[in-house]
Copies of this chain bind each other. A is one copy, B any other.
Amino acid sequence: MARAATTSDAFNAVAEPRRREILNYLALQERPVGEIVDSLRVAQPSVSKHLRVLLEVGLVNVRRDGRRMLYRTNAEAIRPLHEWTETFERYWRHQLNRVKERAERKSNPSNDAGPDFSSRRKNDLDGNKN
């Protein structure tokens, strides 16, 4: 199986950075495609395609105004993401506390041991990725 379609849900649609920019831009006011093109410096067909994806997952609305199409962010569709991330809020608060505690104990001089590999994080295995 390949990766899920970008149009399968808001999570996938929003994974693309340009689409996030567009959503930011269209949050305040509705705007015609041409203004998005000019403001974000992206080719027009590219913008149209991104808007199509956003429209399919309900992240934007459109209405026609003469020959222009006015798009606007539908903030409501972002709520599910907000709510999912929110369930982790209490955890990072805890972690912050733990970090603080460790920092406080740090004033206590006792360990000068080597580096700690007990909890690897990203760049340990980055190896290659340029």
Q: Is A79 interfacial (CB-CB < 8 Å)?
A: yes
- Whole-angstrom CA separation of A121 from B27 in the bound complex: 16
Assuming the contacts A76-B95, A91-B75, asked whether A62 and B3 have C-beta atoms less than 8 A apart, the reply is no
**How many interface residues does A have (CB within 8 Å)?**
49
In the complex formed, the residue of B with least CB distance to A58 is B122
In the complex formed, the residue of B with least CB distance to A86 is B82
> What are 20 contact pairs spanning A and B, CB under 8 A?
A3-B3, A4-B16, A4-B17, A11-B14, A11-B17, A24-B87, A55-B122, A56-B122, A56-B125, A58-B121, A61-B121, A63-B120, A73-B91, A74-B95, A75-B91, A78-B92, A82-B82, A82-B88, A82-B89, A85-B85
**Known contacts A23-B88, A79-B92; 14 further A-B pairs (Cβ under 8 A):** A3-B16, A4-B16, A11-B20, A15-B15, A55-B122, A57-B122, A61-B120, A64-B118, A75-B88, A75-B91, A76-B92, A78-B85, A79-B85, A81-B81
